[in-house]
Amino acid sequence: MSDHHHRSAAPPPTPADRGALIATVVRLWPYIWPSDRRDLKWRVLWATILLLAAKLATVAVPFTYKWATDALAGTGSAPVASSDWLLWAMAAPIAMTIAYGGMRILMAVLTQLRDGLFAKVAMHAVRRLAYRTFVHMHELSLRFHLERKTGGLTRVLERGRNAIETIVRMVILQLAPTVIELALIVGILMWQFDWRYVVLILVTVTAYMVFTYYATEWRIGIRRKMNDSDSDANVKAIDSLLNYETVKYFSAEEREAQRYDKSMARYESASVSAYTSLAVLNAGQAVIFTFGLGGAMVMCALEVRAGTKTVGDFVLINAMMIQLYQPLNFMGMVYREIKQAITDIELMFSILSREPEIKDVPNAPPLAIAAGTVRFENVAFSYEPDRRILKGISFEVPAGRTVAVVGPSGAGKSTISRLLYRFYDLADGRILIDGQDIAKVTQTSLRQAIGMVPQDTVLFNDTIRYNIRYGRWEASDAEVEEAAKLAQIDPLIRMAPKGYDTEVGERGLKLSGGEKQRVAIARTILKSPPILVLDEATSALDSHTEREIQDALERVSRGRTTLVIAHRLSTIVGADEIVVLDRGEIVERGTHQALLVKNGLYASMWNRQREAEEAREKLARAGEEPAAPNRNPPPVEDAISEAAAKPVEAPVDAAQ
């Protein structure tokens, strides 16, 4: 086969394959025949008409070839009546040759016109279904995305788009007409020649299909391995490049390269097998069909010598057999590509069929914010059934007040912010905002009312202006710049040559930690939400930057209901209430001063942090360590873990 990458024949799909194919076409049909696009429906109809006309022209080509040959040999076999036999004998060869060329041109023009007309239908279907899949991915829960690898999802989307195009273009306008063309050719051969030719053709076609079916099934398994290894290599490459700095920190370039090359070695092996199997398939198909073609031509040659057939018939049988080979070849390509497309689209459909874990209740009203009071009532939650994260916690964040939550790793601090955003539904209890259960209002209105400044700010690979404006897309440039001023980042931005049009790089890697946090704060200021969540917003920063960011956060949170997930106790001293979590339960609560007086876990944690800071200051004064205002005190979780293992220390004077 000349186009060995795209052509391999096979019989009609097996019942299981047909079921998958029919189900796929049924799911794609609304995108191919969209109810709201009359223009696309007309394109489908006209493309079908053009395709059928092209098939008729294709079938007529061998006959014009036969008639031209017979005219040249002095035998008038063309269905043309003429009283002037001399004129016919002179003009027929030229006329039939012109007709042959004209039919070939007509066949090509009609085919290309059909493809051009149908292209808009196919690509519209690709676009709409890809859009729906992309939107659906965002509708799926955080749990789904934490279980998946982003690179793998993008490959699913990419292969799914290609699979949609394959199925739309081949099944709807090519598979059925090709079956009709195959039947027409067989019927014509039965009419023009005797039963021996039909038997030979049927044996050839059957052997061709059986061989190609098993060879194609064998190749599909190899192709699937090749795709899997390709996806694995792609995921590893994306993961490594996203963690570029981490790779550099540990001088792991060679290890990452070996890891990637190991995946590519599997891809290489599978690819070699794919090309080898393709060569076997092509050779086998050529041998089988050549035997059939040779047999038919030998029989016809004997009849020509016997005088029962003309030379034109010999040419016709050759042309018709070649004509038969083309749809057979095409059918094989259609089968293989559709089978592969169904394999590729399975994951996309599985994502589309996966119901979102978090749904709005029917006729859910939007959240109505009056004051902004947030209340957790006996909230219980677990990521896995056998491991409870929160065990019936209750607390309230009064309107306009600040409540801080502290605790060791695994205590459930960040889970609280995720539940408030309704990334997960509760196992038990309720979360109320101004008395409204957040599970009974729309997710969009809930998230519009809450502003988040996370510990790890991830920025889009775009400009600073784009990332700040993300907080409120309709904001003007002046409002964006005002938000940057309030977040104390405007002077830094203006120092850059491109100012607000400075690209921040992948995940914001071109910016420092403090700059990224300021962008996140500016984004939240621009959003201007009534409720603010600070999820360990300064824990990754040095002390000097932390103080600056803390000042900005205090200005942002002034007058807003604020929930602080605290990593460092120095940042939540002024909170109206501090809630101490341990193993999913509230073990202490109160103001900073009250908790110190209580002499419990919080007091122990505070003492250990103070001791660590004083030890560093003494070392700096002794010259053993330079003064380091940018050094961080020990994390809260470390302090709590150590405090829990030691006896409670003497209370610290509240004046501290």
Residue that is written with structure tokens 């409002």 in the block: 479
Q: Calculate helix-pair angle for 195-242, 176-192, nearest 10 degrees.
A: 160
Count the neighbouring beta carbons within 10 Å of the beta carbon of residue 21. Answer: 20
Tell me the C-alpha distance between 552 and 523, whole Å: 12
Per-residue confidence (pLDDT) for residue 432, from 0 to 100: 92
Identify whether 536 is part of a domain: no
Co-location of 332 and 472 in the same domain: no
Domain boundary among 489, 510, 528: 528
Identify whether 399 is part of a domain: no
Domain boundary among 328, 353, 378: 353
Identify whether 360 is part of a domain: no
Tell me the residue range of the domain where 506 lies.
Answer: 457-528
Tell me the C-alpha distance between 83 and 81, whole Å: 7
Co-location of 191 and 339 in the same domain: yes
Identify whether 625 is part of a domain: no
Per-residue confidence (pLDDT) for residue 144, from 0 to 100: 66
Please spell the DSSP secondary structure of 504-541, one letter per residue.
Answer: --GGGTTS-HHHHHHHHHHHHHHH--SEEEEESTTTTS
Q: Which residues of the chain fall below pLDDT 70?
A: 1-21, 74-93, 141-153, 172-173, 176, 330-332, 506-509, 537-546, 616-617, 620-656
Q: What angle do CA 398, 404, 408 make, to 5 degrees?
A: 145
Q: 3-class DSSP state for residue 618? A: helix
Identify whether 300 is part of a domain: yes
Co-location of 339 and 477 in the same domain: no
Identify whether 417 is part of a domain: no
Co-location of 346 and 462 in the same domain: no
Residue that is written with structure tokens 């979780």 in the block: 637
Tell me the C-alpha distance between 618 and 624, whole Å: 9
Domain boundary among 528, 551, 582: 528
| Number of independent structural domains in the chain | 2
CATH number at residue 87: 1.20.1560.10
Identify whether 307 is part of a domain: yes
Identify whether 237 is part of a domain: yes
Co-location of 339 and 464 in the same domain: no
Co-location of 108 and 244 in the same domain: yes
Co-location of 321 and 468 in the same domain: no
Co-location of 280 and 161 in the same domain: yes
Co-location of 347 and 488 in the same domain: no
CATH number at residue 494: 3.40.50.300
With a CB cutoff of 8 Å and minimum separation 6, the contacts of 6 are: 333, 337
Tell me the C-alpha distance between 238 and 590, whole Å: 46
Tell me the C-alpha distance between 392 and 518, whole Å: 35
Q: Calculate helix-pair angle for 15-32, 85-139, nearest 10 degrees.
A: 80
